[in-house]
Amino acid sequence: MSGDRFALALRSGIHRVIEEQDVLNRINVFPVPDGDTGTNLTLTLGAALDVLERSEDHLGTVLAGLADALLDGARGNSGAIIAQFFQGLSDSAHEVSRFTTYTFSKAVATGSDYAHDAMAEPKEGTILSVMAAFAGSLHRQVVEDGEGHFTRILPTSLARLEKALAETPGQLDVLRKAGVVDAGAKGFVTLVDGVVQYLVNGKETPRPDLALLDEVIDVAAGIDEASGYRYCTECIVTGTDIDRRKLRETLAELGDSLVLAGTKRKAKVHMHADEPDRVFDAAARFGKVSAEKADDMHRQTHSSHDRVRQFAVITDSAADISDDDLERLDINMVPCRVHFGERSFIDKVSISSEEFLAEVERNPIHPTTSQPAPGDLRRQYQFLASHYADVLSVNLSAQASGTWQAAVAAADRVNAPGKIHVLDTMNASTGEGLLTVLAAECAEAGMSLEDARKEVEKRIPLTRTFALVKDLTFAVRGGRVPGYVKPIAELLRITPIIRTMPDGRVTNGGFIFGRRRRLRRFAEHVVKHSAIDGPMHVAVGHALCRDDALELRAILEALIGDVKRSTITELGSALSVHGGPGTLIAATMPDRVKDS
């Protein structure tokens, strides 16, 4: 079998997996019932299609390119295992120009061993079992029985694969209780079936809709189990001589479901953990870390079983919302990215607000922030739109960031039953947070998307956000304020106020002269420029100055009088990157709006 013929056969098998994506997602219950095995296999294998479509007769060359592409594109537990399987094929046959049945059986056995070794805790009844069954069947026919032709050995091995797949429910209780076979194992069998049908019967699976290859998560399986850890965490480690054994030992202490795929120069990490930042930091000791990802599995599992809300609510991490409100109202959040030079973090996931500000103070490189990655937005949208008829995305002002436009673009590319509605809050930080909480409270009350959206939109122009920047150092470092402004402000004892405008702009809102009664005068400014008419909601955010935040809230409550609810939260990186420690944010929103 030449490299060209193997590539054509494998491409046909990948097309089969892409076609079966929804089926694989629906039966996904192990290791976590997050309904993404089909999608992860689609993304992983789909990453190799470009390599397979190039004309290349030498098999070893095809396999080398294939292994690299799969490692870079690997998603999820099953995807990482598949990538490692093909790494084994490549290492076994890197000098082979054409497969014989013997070299093929040897390569499959190596691939199975690699996949097994990639797992920190390999389990029977999974994709590993069917890989081992495939390797064992090929070995028996080629080595023991001397059957030497692909058209004879492949159909027999496929039958053994299908038998091994049917046995998986008897090997894992979670599969037996759900009445399904293992999704990853079925994906591998589907892949091999597509390959066999092409090689033996000349039947090629047509090219499917490759729009599915964009980074998505689809339907979750219906079973009430969840991982003991919260985040599905992934990254790539690049180095010259990665000590894989030590890397595995280091990571194994931080979570479970660890899969370590790749080579000594590039390793793909997949695991479940509570603290993704510790995973990324640990991996960084062995090489350069990139492609960090952390998905909240608990929130996804909860969403997949929600039968009360008519729509889901999601926002970006520029919205500053208390942890209590996030949990109480099941608000989904897509994180922004934070960069200190070449080192990147996932906002509010791999770096906390406190850790971010500490890094700002000690790191000579001033950080930059970027809107959520398009794949992060679409992956979350796709998942929620698979469970809800409507999803309301409540986003940072389009005048302040490209997040809203990125959200619109991602929403247009979602391929799921539900519809994504993207809303520009024309606000930021705690103001954006107030509007997001309102939307989530409407959802919790059972309101329709249309009615809830009207309630939020009525309050957008009446929701005001104000920031008191204690020290202009960080705004100057970030280029937001000219360097000459800081000494002038210090000389005149001026503290600037930044605010959002009704049209969504974030601009200068005035100054406080002098240092005496600074918080009270800021509160008076907030009240003066707020749309106060009846009961109000107040949200205060702070950057490492909780005592000031408590005092500010108390003053605001006294000045406003009728405050229905007030909250305090730490500021995320989106705003504190410019204000630094000591920054205070206050936002106000009317509880009721009179109909015009």
Determine the distance from the C-alpha atom of residue 73 to the mean position of all C-alpha atoms in its chain, rounded to a whole number: 14
**pLDDT in the model for residue 216:** 36
Residue 135 and residue 190 share a domain: yes
300 versus 51: the higher-pLDDT residue is 51
Domain final residue pick, 303, 318, 342: 303
**pLDDT in the model for residue 218:** 32
Instruction: Assess whether pLDDT exceeds 70 at residue 554.
Output: yes
- C-alpha 300/C-alpha 488 separation (Å) is 50
Tell me the pLDDT tens digit for each residue of 158-172: 999 999 999 999 998
Sign of CA dihedral 52, 87, 200, 143: positive
Other CB atoms within a 10 A radius of the CB of residue 123 amount to 14
* Least confident range of 84-88, 141-145, 531-535, 559-563: 141-145
**pLDDT in the model for residue 213:** 53
Instruction: Assess whether pLDDT exceeds 90 at residue 493.
Output: no
Which tokens in the block code for residue 439? 């939307």
Residue 126 and residue 17 share a domain: yes
Instruction: Assess whether pLDDT exceeds 90 at residue 459.
Output: yes
Which tokens in the block code for residue 2? 């030449």
**pLDDT in the model for residue 219:** 30
Q: Supply angle C-alpha 474, 434, 535, rounded to 5.
A: 125
- Has residue 556 been placed in a domain? yes
- C-alpha 464/C-alpha 504 separation (Å) is 10
- C-alpha 215/C-alpha 219 separation (Å) is 14
Pairing of strands 464-468, 584-590: antiparallel
229 versus 312: the higher-pLDDT residue is 312
- Has residue 446 been placed in a domain? no
Tell me the pLDDT tens digit for each residue of 522-546: 999 999 999 898 999 999 999 999 9
Amino acid at 2: S
pTM value is 0.60
- For residue 437, give the nearest of 531, 352, 315, 543 by alpha carbon: 315
Tell me the pLDDT tens digit for each residue of 320-354: 999 889 888 888 888 888 888 767 777 877 777 78
The upper half-sphere exposure of residue 323, i.e. CA atoms within 13 Å in the direction of its Cβ, equals 5
Asked whether 430 and 569 are in contact (CB, 8 A), the reply is: yes
Residue 158 and residue 72 share a domain: yes
418 versus 222: the higher-pLDDT residue is 418
* Least confident range of 27-31, 154-158, 331-335, 355-359: 27-31
- C-alpha 554/C-alpha 538 separation (Å) is 11
The pair phi, psi for residue 102, each rounded to 5°, is: -70, -50
Q: Supply angle C-alpha 76, 81, 82, rounded to 5.
A: 100
- Has residue 106 been placed in a domain? yes
Q: Residue 241, class by beta-carbon neighbours within 10 Å (0-12 exposed, 13-18 middle, 19+ buried)?
A: exposed
Instruction: Rank 72-81, 220-229, 299-308, 458-467 by mean pLDDT and report only the highest.
Output: 458-467
Asked whether 237 and 202 are in contact (CB, 8 A), the reply is: no
3-state secondary structure 39-86: HHHHHHHHCCHHHHCCCCCCHHHHHHHHHHHHHHHCCHHHHHHHHHHH
Instruction: Assess whether pLDDT exceeds 80 at residue 585.
Output: yes
Domain final residue pick, 285, 303, 321: 303
Residue 233 and residue 160 share a domain: no
- Has residue 359 been placed in a domain? no
Q: Supply angle C-alpha 97, 149, 89, rounded to 5.
A: 40
Sign of CA dihedral 262, 265, 266, 269: positive
Give how many domains the chain has, as a whole number: 3
Residue 269 and residue 182 share a domain: no
DSSP 367: P
Pairing of strands 255-262, 266-273: antiparallel
* Per-residue pLDDT band at 217 (split at 50, 70, 90): very low
Domain final residue pick, 206, 234, 261: 206
Which tokens in the block code for residue 116? 């097994």
Sign of CA dihedral 333, 338, 344, 345: negative
- C-alpha 377/C-alpha 214 separation (Å) is 11
Amino acid at 118: A
Residue 241 and residue 182 share a domain: no
Amino acid at 158: L
CATH number (domain holding residue 476): 3.30.1180.10
Residue 124 and residue 197 share a domain: yes
Which tokens in the block code for residue 430? 């705690």
Q: Which of helix, strand or coil describes residue 272?
A: strand
Q: What is the mean pLDDT of the chain?
A: 86
**pLDDT in the model for residue 78:** 85
**pLDDT in the model for residue 225:** 41
- C-alpha 44/C-alpha 330 separation (Å) is 30
Which tokens in the block code for residue 153? 């050995």
* Per-residue pLDDT band at 457 (split at 50, 70, 90): very high
Asked whether 294 and 352 are in contact (CB, 8 A), the reply is: no
| Average pLDDT over every residue of 575-588 | 87
- For residue 119, give the nearest of 104, 131, 136 by alpha carbon: 131
Instruction: Assess whether pLDDT exceeds 60 at residue 439.
Output: yes
- For residue 319, give the nearest of 466, 464, 425, 432 by alpha carbon: 432
Residue 138 and residue 267 share a domain: no
| Average pLDDT over every residue of 128-145 | 91
Instruction: Assess whether pLDDT exceeds 60 at residue 220.
Output: no
Residue 173 and residue 298 share a domain: no
CATH number (domain holding residue 169): 1.25.40.340
Write the DSSP assignment of 183-226 as a string of letters.
HHHHHHHHHHHHHHHHHHH--PPPP--GGGGSS---PPP-----
**pLDDT in the model for residue 226:** 47
Residue 194 and residue 49 share a domain: yes
* Per-residue pLDDT band at 35 (split at 50, 70, 90): low
- C-alpha 99/C-alpha 225 separation (Å) is 43
Compute the residue count for the chain: 596
Edge-to-edge strands, sheet with 311-316: 332-334, 311-316, 390-395, 419-424
- Has residue 423 been placed in a domain? no
- C-alpha 205/C-alpha 162 separation (Å) is 19
- Has residue 64 been placed in a domain? yes
Give the rounded percent of residues in the chain with a pLDDT score beyond 70.
91
Q: Which helix (H) or strand (E) holds 240?
A: none
> Alpha-carbon dihedral of residues 28, 33, 39, 42, nearest 10 degrees?
-50
**pLDDT in the model for residue 481:** 63
**pLDDT in the model for residue 429:** 94
**pLDDT in the model for residue 103:** 94
Domain range enclosing 582: 462-590
Pairing of strands 584-590, 536-542: antiparallel
Other CB atoms within a 10 A radius of the CB of residue 211 amount to 9
**pLDDT in the model for residue 262:** 75
**pLDDT in the model for residue 357:** 83
* Per-residue pLDDT band at 32 (split at 50, 70, 90): low
- Has residue 83 been placed in a domain? yes
- Has residue 353 been placed in a domain? no
The upper half-sphere exposure of residue 351, i.e. CA atoms within 13 Å in the direction of its Cβ, equals 25
| Average pLDDT over every residue of 554-562 | 96
Cβ-based neighbours of 149, under 8 Å, separated by 6 or more? 101
Residue 548 and residue 476 share a domain: yes
CATH number (domain holding residue 295): 3.30.70
Q: Supply angle C-alpha 287, 288, 292, rounded to 5.
A: 120
536 versus 414: the higher-pLDDT residue is 536
* Per-residue pLDDT band at 147 (split at 50, 70, 90): low
Residue 233 and residue 166 share a domain: no
| Average pLDDT over every residue of 563-590 | 89
- C-alpha 330/C-alpha 321 separation (Å) is 12
